[in-house]
Amino acid sequence: MTKNTGINWDFKHFSELSAKEWYALAKKRMEVFIMEQDCHYLDLDDKDLDAYHIYGTRNNQVIAYARLLAKGVSYPQVSIGRVLVVEEERGKNVGHLLMDKVMQFSVEKYGKNDIKISAQEHLKKFYEIHGFKVVTEMYYEDDIPHVGMLFEAVNL
């Protein structure tokens, strides 16, 4: 179905991550969300402790990442957040592969459930490709324009 992209995908609950794996994921999140986007906020929150962490590596380097949260952690729905693709991999469909993997994993872990995200506004079309629809007006989160988006389980 999918050609070999050279990406190794891992799906681990926080409790399954080694210290070295968690360090690599946290470092990549800080590089992208804090340094690259020049956004000063506390990235590491207690939600990570109950999250599944989905990430792709190539040559032992994290190139894509997202976290999956159960209902009631961020929203009444299941949620996906902290979605990232490193700069040198953008435009190569890695983000779409990541979202496909996360959406499939969500169904495996939580069944067919609605999924809510807080998306950076400029990525709205990216998420629409994966079936998400805008459900809020634009708002600012950490000085970056965002929109709330929802994927309805009836689309599975």
Span 92-125, pLDDT tens digits: 999 999 999 999 999 999 999 999 999 999 999 9
According to DSSP, residue 2 is labeled P
In terms of phi and psi (left: phi > 0; alpha: psi -120 to 50; beta: otherwise), the region of 32 is alpha
pTM for this predicted structure: 0.92
Q: Could you tell me which residues are beta bridge partners of residue 107? A: none
The answer for residues whose C-beta is within 8 angstroms of residue 15's C-beta and 6 or more apart is none
140, containing H or E segment: strand 139-141
Q: Could you tell me which residues are beta bridge partners of residue 61? A: 58
What percentage of the chain carries pLDDT values higher than 70?
Answer: 96
Query: How do the domains of the chain map onto residue ranges?
Result: 8-155
Alpha carbon distances (Å) from 46 to 42, 69, 102, 129:
11, 11, 20, 30
Q: Which fold, 8-155?
A: Aminopeptidase (3.40.630)
